[in-house]
Structure 1
Amino acid sequence: MTVDTDSLRPELEAGLAQLDLEPALAAPLLDYLALLARWNATYNLTAIRDPREMLAKHLLDSLAMQPFVRGIGTLADLGTGPGLPGIPLAIATPGLQVTLVESNGKKARFLREAVRQLKLGNVQVAESRIEAFRPGTTFDAITARALATLPLILQLGGHLPGPDGRLLAMKGVLPDDEIAALPAGWRVAAIYPLRVPGLSAERHLLEIVRTRA
């Protein structure tokens, strides 16, 4: 599948402007989008087929959380699928070291190819189940965009943030029941409404941290 990236550029640049991001990011982001659309035609990496729909629902939706990773050094994107939100965040935040954790072999192959073609020196791919991923180090933050409930994310990946690390979870409508079911030792530190260009649906970022003894 060939993507007409030139026709998508104005919409992406307008969305980047609304998110206070540089228009120069459009070029590498569109390269990623074109690669994703091409692989998706064969490997079914995402249910969204239309590149224009991918632009809002994948790229801009992922980038809406970029202000919240600017001050951190390392991020693990759990169950990243085709690299969302990790790859857009890595493109927009060169100083951020991103580890993409994905157990599906086809998706992990795509991720490695995307990292190679896009020359993303700040991205690593870990082909692993989340609960089995033991990198020997911890992360400043973990994130998950469409993976599971908050309790399950922490059950699977709660060993990955450092003592002062956090979970930055992207959600739609506020999941009050999931918040109420957070496992012992974790609490919601902040809830941020997100405005995603091109999307009218509710989006929230939840910052979840360890409770202090």
Structure 2
Amino acid sequence: MNNLEVMLQSGADEMGIEISPEQIHALCEYVGLLVKWNKVYNLTAVRNPEDMISRHILDSLSILPFVKATVASGESFIDIGSGPGLPGIPLAIMLSDRRVSTLDCVGKKTRFQVQACTALGIENVTVLNERVENWKPAELYDVVMSRAFSSMKDMMVSTDHLLKADGKWLAMKGIHPEIELEELNTVRPDIKVTESHSLDVAGCEGQRHLVILERMETARA
């Protein structure tokens, strides 16, 4: 194993994530492609590949247990504002039996995603170069997730048309978004937090949280 693979294995072990040698290799190959493209296309502010392991890969995998519990085999989720494919592509590598869509409006970022999925043989990802408000899927998603939105209200309002009636939102945040949730409640009181989790990301300082939300049963009555 090379240094990146050792770092990833160690971090996954620390976080209690089961990961195969094939998954480790694919995730590190993804990092290698991201480093290469980043030199030309400025896809992420994180430059160092070791930092990418913790701040991008392990951060993405920190929600893996919750995605597994929320999205069953054969079901679908979409990663909104995916950038270079985060957290969507790492999760797709770990969950090859789920159908994953990644959406971003910046062409250079989605072009990288397409190239990465082709190079790595990832077949369960659909890359979408779209604005979220314009995307009209043929089939609604079981889960809508993002770590890109600065506002919970913006995330819920912008993606409401993408989610199944009984679907859930998974919002990745830094500190727990108390004020954002209060703001959301004034606009969409029918959307409620069902779970909130503090995330431990190996090698990362600072707070990380996952907030899971869904519509009230009476929302569409």
Q: So what's the TM-score if we normalise by structure 2?
A: 0.91
| Alignment-derived partner of residue 78 in structure 1 | 80
* Structure 1 residue 34 corresponds to structure 2 residue 39: no
Cα distance in structure 2, aligned partners of 1:22 and 1:153: 30
How far the C-alpha of 1:148 sits from its partner, in A, is 2.5
Cα RMSD, aligned residues only? 1.2
5+ residue gaps, structure 2, are none
Q: Aligned match of 1:16 in 12, 15, 20? A: 12
Q: Aligned match of 2:156 in 154, 157, 164? A: 154
| Alignment-derived partner of residue 49 in structure 2 | 51
Q: Aligned match of 2:62 in 56, 60, 64? A: 64
- Cα-to-partner distance string for 1:94-146 (whole Å, 9 max, x where unaligned): 11111000110111111110111111111001110001010121111011112
8 Å contact from structure 1 (residues 70, 96) kept in 2: no
How far the C-alpha of 1:23 sits from its partner, in A, is 4.0
Cα distance in structure 1, aligned partners of 2:45 and 2:199: 23
8 Å contact from structure 1 (residues 13, 26) kept in 2: yes
8 Å contact from structure 1 (residues 171, 204) kept in 2: yes
| Alignment-derived partner of residue 179 in structure 1 | 181
| Alignment-derived partner of residue 168 in structure 2 | 166
Q: What is the letter of the counterpart of residue 41 of structure 2?
A: Y
Which ranges of 4 or more aligned residues in structure 1 deviate by more than 3 Å? none
8 Å contact from structure 1 (residues 16, 23) kept in 2: no
8 Å contact from structure 1 (residues 17, 23) kept in 2: no
Q: What is the letter of the counterpart of residue 19 of structure 2?
A: E
